[in-house]
Amino acid sequence: MQLLQQKIINEGTVLSDHVLKVDAFLNHQIDPQLMVEVGKEFARRFQNDRITKVLTIESSGIAPGLMAALELGVPVIFARKRKSLTLVNDLLTASVHSFTKNETSDISVSQKFLEPTDNVLIIDDFLANGQAALGLANIVELAGAKTAGIGIVIEKSFQDGGLLLRDKGFKVESLARIQSLQGGKVTFVEDLEVVR
């Protein structure tokens, strides 16, 4: 997705060989036009998978998840990371370790929003080690539903999350795949494929 790659190059900040900051358009401030295009692209890539629900995680997954759900014409559910007075009974819960925050938290979804007949598309902003996506897939499994696919806005291909998810048999579609952040420069997987 060229528009997304341009945003990453123009507005992203490489903080280290492993961390890319994209708070100008995805994680803090959100570019709504970009999110519309992200939603359209996810809907196109999963159009034949009979999606009935989109599942994401708060908070950075909500914008791309919502836009994908809008394009697919289905509800979006987001797993909560924090306890709530209104979210207490019949919860589907999984533990997730965040690479960026270096912390483990429980994520929860109310059981009433996922049915065994659901075909779920998981959407997340980043894929590093794959723990968030695996946690969401675990919640889908606990509901007796099916994970139809996993849509990722930005995949850090130099980390093992993508390989882990694909080895487990998940259909993973990433809109931008980063091969390297070394030397403060973003290199996309497609850039390397063109060179070869």
User: Torsion angle of alpha carbons 173, 152, 64, 194, nearest 10°?
Assistant: -70
The DSSP call for residue 25 is: T
Mean pLDDT of the residues in the chain: 92
What is the distance between the alpha carbons of residues 130 and 157, in angstroms, rounded to a whole number? 11
pLDDT at 171: 98
Under CATH, which architecture does the 2-195 domain have?
A: 3-Layer(aba) Sandwich (3.40)
Asked if pLDDT for residue 71 goes beyond 50, the answer is: yes
Q: Report the run of H or E that residue 154 belongs to, with start and end.
A: strand 146-156
Triad 44, 49, 51: Cα angle to 5°: 90
Query: Which pTM does this prediction carry?
Result: 0.93
Please report which residue ranges of 29-184 form alpha helices under DSSP H.
Answer: 32-45, 62-72, 131-142, 161-167
Residue 28 tokens, joined: 């803090």
pLDDT at 59: 84
Instruction: Tell me if 136 sits within 8 A of 56, measured CB to CB.
Output: yes
Instruction: Tell me if 90 sits within 8 A of 143, measured CB to CB.
Output: no
pLDDT at 183: 94
Asked if pLDDT for residue 128 goes beyond 90, the answer is: yes
